[in-house]
A and B are shown apart, each in its own frame.
Chain A
Amino acid sequence: MHGRNDEEEERKRQERERNRLSPSDRLYGRGPRITASGFEDRRSKRRTGRVVPLPLRLQPRVRAIVDAIIDRDEHPSAVVFFEVLLDMYQQQMGAIDQSLLPSDEELIRRYLKGQDDNDGK
């Protein structure tokens, strides 16, 4: 009982800490790095926060077909392929109202909560 409260409290504390960071830093867990010579490490500029890891539990046969299509149709990356895939789906099943989509902030919050949940298992 007491342990559960401690865990909740720790999660809230971590959330407060994260809220001070930018969205991309929240995703990748650390802020911009300052090099030993005092300059900002420009590698941190590569992190745009526009690409997020999405957890999926695909069956082996679906995973195989995804890989086979990416190879056959020469999609440059999984990110591009999934964009095309969802576009095709919406063409056949109807496009979704873009205003219904959650904000970046909300998506990042969900992703981090998923990570916390996994860590707590």
Chain B
Amino acid sequence: MANDPTGLPKADAGEKELALWMLERIHDSEKFMGLIRDARVAGRADVLDTPNYVALHTKRIAPLYQGAHEEQIETSVELAGLIDKLAERDLLSGREDLIEKALAAYLKAHPKGDAGLPKNWQSTVDLARAEIEGKSSGAFKPGFATELATAARSELARRAAKEKGRGVGRDGQ
């Protein structure tokens, strides 16, 4: 199971192992945000639907969708506001995440579908896994795997500190 604490990698594990582990955490966060979103739509806000939780998970998801370079696209004033508002409403990690979901919606509705377009772009997590494992390259920003491995080390350090804090609390009783 993805959240099984016994499945934690060691902090000094190789970059590939750490990056793959972090990718699974991101995937878990996306699934979790989906549950929160469904609960909101159904009018029954989840007990874990708090600003802190949402911020933690969206921040974790963002690197999957954000490239290294900032580019300016021209858009109407209304659309610029709409993009941010939709991302916020749908608990997405940012503009880039929304653009990717909107592309999927566009191709689903378009009569030509994805005919004539670069293939296999929709499954972000699978593609990211292939990039980390070295089976593909260039689909994500340079240093993508390294960034995920760094995030994994921070996550493991955060968990270790939390566990240590719990242990201290028990000893003190």
Contact = CB atoms under 8 A, between A and B. Distances in A.
Contacts of B21: none
Interface residues of A, number: 46
A50 B71 contact: no
A56 B74 contact: no
A104 to B, nearest CB: 5
A contacts with B: majority SS:
helix
Interface string B72-83: 111111111111
Interface residues of B, number: 49
B96 A102 contact: no
Interface string A42-78: 0000000111111111111111111011001100011
A89 interface: yes
Contact of B99 (A51, A52, A62, A92): A62
A96 interface: yes
Interface of A: 49-66, 68-69, 72-73, 77-79, 82-86, 88-94, 96, 100-102, 104, 106-108, 111
28 contacts: A51-B76, A52-B74, A52-B76, A54-B83, A56-B71, A57-B96, A58-B96, A59-B96, A60-B67, A61-B127, A62-B96, A62-B99, A64-B118, A65-B121, A69-B103, A77-B74, A78-B74, A88-B105, A88-B106, A89-B86, A90-B86, A91-B105, A92-B109, A93-B90, A94-B41, A101-B81, A108-B77, A111-B80
